[in-house]
Amino acid sequence: MLLKSEKEARFYSASLCLLILAQLGLGNDPIRANTAGIALVQASEAFIGAPYSSHQSVLLRPLDKAPQFDCQTLVEATLSRVMSRGQQDYYHHLHQLRYFKKPETEAYRRHFMSSDWLPNLWQKQVLIDETAKLFPKAKTISRRIDKVQWFLKTKEKRDHEAFTKSGLPQTPQARLAFIPISELYHETRETVALFPGSNDPVNLVKARAKLKPLAAKIPTGALLVFVSRNPDRFIEKIGSPLIVGHLGIAVRKDQKLFLRHADLPRDTVIDIPLETFLRSNSHKYQGIHISTYQANANKL
């Protein structure tokens, strides 16, 4: 079989390992002997280096092809893997995470994290909202999601028509707690003279990013959900507010907090120090919502 790129070739071996583990039964996998958060981190390691692909449906790609991810499908695949004892379990959990019901079409997909995806997993106690526990002064954002207009502006006519006949809520109310970025992260600026002692000094301003102590309380394996700074700015383009702009998994290495996520600029799944990610993206996001996995696969 010919692979399109060296990146896919590297990931092909990892996807084969995932298939072997599924066939053997993930109940024997040592990740199950650890806490739920660590299990989630270890389950996601198989996907590091996978190519980025916007809105790629992992469910529809056969297992002999290297999966591709955006931020949501990466988390879905990770949750499905850690909850599964075999290949059929894996597909079952992907379906339960992604769709309200069959058929597996755009009309029945849980497209919006804030109104569709997260509330489903909170209700089934697969995820627990930890935001207010970590920061009692957490803020809450609320918007009505206009899925009718979103389908009209972003999907094909047949998908829009199927959704309007689906019986699903068409303008669901979304609420999401979050910790303001300013409580987790700050930047300092330092002026450095390039030529000390010069009569005509040339100064360089250097920005330094640093996480605040509260970030140390974020659990390993937590889902980090980034809240858009201005959700309403998306209305003109996609027909609806968009509360969630990105998400990934909290990973700790040598006491340092990383974000494991599908990275569009780098076109792959990577680990990046959280302060580095925020230094480049804090202008986009006003806060971070935090939910943790509770190992309740039987609830799906």
Distance CA 32, CA 56 (A): 28
| pLDDT, average across residues 17-25 | 40
Is the per-residue pLDDT at 162 higher than 90? yes
Q: Higher-confidence residue: 26 or 78?
A: 78
Which of the 8 DSSP states describes residue 135? -
Nearest to 244 by CA among 186, 174, 185, 184: 174
- In terms of DSSP bridges, do strands 139-144 and 127-129 run parallel, antiparallel, or are they unpaired? unpaired
Contact predicate 60/28, CB 8 Å: no
H or E segment and range at residue 282: none
Q: What is the pLDDT of residue 217?
A: 95
H or E segment and range at residue 184: helix 181-184
Mean pLDDT estimate for the chain: 85
pTM of the model: 0.83
Which two tokens mark 237? 């383009």
Distance CA 39, CA 297 (A): 13
Architecture of domain 6-187+207-299: Roll (2.30)
Strands (E), the chain: 127-129, 139-144, 173-180, 185-193, 203-211, 223-228, 244-253, 256-263, 268-273, 285-293
Q: What is the pLDDT of residue 299?
A: 67
* pLDDT (tens digit per residue) in 28-51: 333 333 489 999 999 999 999 999
Is the per-residue pLDDT at 4 higher than 70? no
DSSP lists the bridge partners of residue 191 as: 205
Lowest mean pLDDT among 44-48, 54-58, 114-118, 154-158: 54-58
* pLDDT (tens digit per residue) in 217-270: 999 999 999 999 999 999 999 999 999 999 999 999 998 999 999 999 999 999
Q: What is the pLDDT of residue 5?
A: 54
Q: What is the pLDDT of residue 33?
A: 34
Q: Higher-confidence residue: 103 or 192?
A: 103
Distance CA 248, CA 71 (A): 6
* pLDDT (tens digit per residue) in 109-148: 999 999 999 999 999 999 999 999 999 999 999 999 999 9
CA distances from 175 to 76, 145, 172, 178, 229 (A): 21, 10, 10, 10, 15
What is the distance between the terminal CA atoms of the chain, rounded to a whole angstrom? 35
Q: What is the pLDDT of residue 25?
A: 39
Question: What secondary structure does DSSP assign to 236-279, as a single string?
Answer: HHHSS---EEEEEEEEEETTEEEEEEEETTTTEEEEEEHHHHHH
Q: What is the pLDDT of residue 75?
A: 96
Which two tokens mark 125? 């106690």
Distance CA 193, CA 205 (A): 9
- Phi-psi domain of 64 (left: phi exceeds 0; alpha: psi -120 through 50; beta: other): alpha
Which two tokens mark 282? 């804090």
